[in-house]
Amino acid sequence: MSAIPSYLLPDTSSVGPDGHLIVGGCDTVALAAEFGTPLFVYDEEHLRARCREAVAAFGSYATYATKAFLCTAMARLAYEEGMALDVATGGELHICLSAGVPADRLVFHGNNKSSAELRQALTAGVGRIMVDSFEEFDRIENLVAEGLNPPSVLLRVTPGVEAHTHEYIATGQDDSKFGFTVSTGLAHQAVERAEKSDSMNLIGIHAHIGSQVFRAESFAQAVKVLGEFTSPLGLRELVVGGGLGVAYVEGEHAPTITEWANVLHNAVDEAGITASIGIEPGRSITGAAAVTVYTVGTIKHLEGIRTYVAVDGGMSDNPRPVLYGSGYEAFLPARASAERDLTARIVGKHCESGDLLVREASLPSDVAVGDLLATPVTGAYGHSMGSNYNKVLRPPVVFCRDGDARLVVRRETYDDLLGTDLG
């Protein structure tokens, strides 16, 4: 196998004269020495470029889905670049407000928002609430009866479109816990209910068909169904969600945000939709912006079976391989252009056999204990879905730009593990 292909690496990546991977002008080997491993290294320019691409295509209706990766630095970055931010829980809302993002640039999602979360959102004055259930109408009405201001709302609908992706992250099909189903008539009932209510201002419709979707055609199909539903309502906003896939492994190719936008805009024109169109990308903004850098701790060559390479992280910093069987690549950032002739399974340090990061990785055959090992395209749903399983400390996050490395999330300490423990 040849060297790691550059299209899986962050935009500003290059290989220095000593063979080291450089991201955002920073030597990843030096970063590992300074901040330790595991370490999430983000290319700040890559993040900003993706935000700008989304804003160029959808203006202020381009909304970053914070679940993909969130810390206050990321929230500020997306806001500075002109994006609104989608939050799906009180916790995500709290981080965005703490980052100083104005509440009117926040959109509140969730299929089971509690009254406490809705109170938090209405009190802050979030820009839009995406209503997902009939219970939520009751909760909002009760809060407005208490004296909170009526929010602007969009209704989340399920358009009956099967996206080609993993079943856990497909959301557009009728059999879904999300939204009001169009085909069963629930979506029409929800519109009637919202229109009758004095406690909210219905401004639009929202749908999200799934995540890690490669086929632009799936989105065009959703727009068609949504157009038939939305146009007669005369509402001013239609948000078509996120979901654009990214390439994780060699041979995969995903549409760019601009290509996705063109498909959406064409489908909107064809369907004669006049509402303003919004998108909510998460993965396509942050996924390829980061690499995770680990240190190899043990190597086991099992004759006739396989080689296991164990690193100092695992399912606690990237649960995606375990959850969805997701594929990743690996390489050695100190020898970033090296051929990768050895096939090995890259595993973590957790106490279960399922703890794998790359099922069939290609690595340079001279990989040795103590080497740094990196997995690219870990900027989305890695840090955000991380855990403290086995009381492993969550890794730090560094943003690199023009040769400056800015630590935006520090490594956890053992005392952090006791922070909520009352004894």
Residues near ligand LLP (CB under 6 A): 65, 67-68, 86, 109, 169, 208, 211-212, 241-244, 280-284, 320, 324, 381, 385
Q: The tokens 């550059």 sit on which residue?
A: 6
27 C-beta neighbours (distance < 10 Å), count: 20
96 carries an active-site annotation: no
Q: How far is the CB of 342 from ligand LLP (least distance, A)?
A: 28
Select which of 26, 71, 351, 400 is catalytic.
351
Closest distance of CB 162 from ligand LLP, Å: 16
Identity of the residue numbered 210? G
Quick one: 74 exposed, middle or buried, by C-beta within 10 A (0-12, 13-18, 19+)? buried
CA 166 to chain centre: 15
Residue 83 near residue 58 (C-beta atoms within 8 A): no
* CA-CA-CA-CA dihedral for 341, 345, 349, 353, to nearest 10: -170
In terms of Cα–Cα distance, which of 17, 84, 10 is closest to 42?
A: 10
Q: What's the closest the beta carbon of residue 124 comes to ligand LLP, in angstroms?
A: 19
| CB contact at 8 A, 88 and 55 | no
Please identify, using beta-carbon distances, which residue of 159 and 242 lies nearer to ligand LLP: 242
Q: Give the nearer residue to ligand LLP in terms of CB position, either 177 or 196.
A: 177
Nearer to ligand LLP, 278 or 333 (CB): 278
Helix and strand counts by DSSP (H, E) for the chain: 12, 20
Which of 281, 159, 298, 125 has its CA nearest to residue 228?
159
Residues 6+ apart with CB under 8 A from 387: 315, 316, 319, 394
| Ordered DSSP codes for 5-35 | PGGGS-TT-EE-TTS-EEETTEEHHHHHHHH
In the bound state with ligand LLP, the residue whose beta carbon lies nearer, of 169 and 249, is 169
- Least spacing, CB of residue 341 vs ligand LLP, in Å: 30
Residue 149 CB-half CA count within 13 A: 11
For residues 160 and 184, the answer to whether their CB atoms sit within 8 Å is: no
Specify the residue, 364 or 376, whose C-beta has the smaller distance to ligand LLP. 376
Q: Which is nearer to ligand LLP, 182 or 367 (CB)?
A: 182
Residue whose CB is less far from ligand LLP, 27 or 43:
43
In the complex, the smallest distance separating the C-beta of residue 209 from ligand LLP, rounded to whole angstroms, is 10
- Nearest approach, Cβ of residue 43 and ligand LLP (Å): 18
The nearest distance, CB 83 to ligand LLP, in angstroms, is 12
- Rounding to the nearest 10 degrees, give the CA dihedral for residues 340, 341, 342, 347: 20
Token pair, residue 374, equals: 């990196």
Token code pair at residue 293: 């850098």
Can you tell me the distance from the alpha carbon of 280 to that of 53, in angstroms, rounded to the nearest whole number?
13
Q: Which residues are catalytic?
A: 351
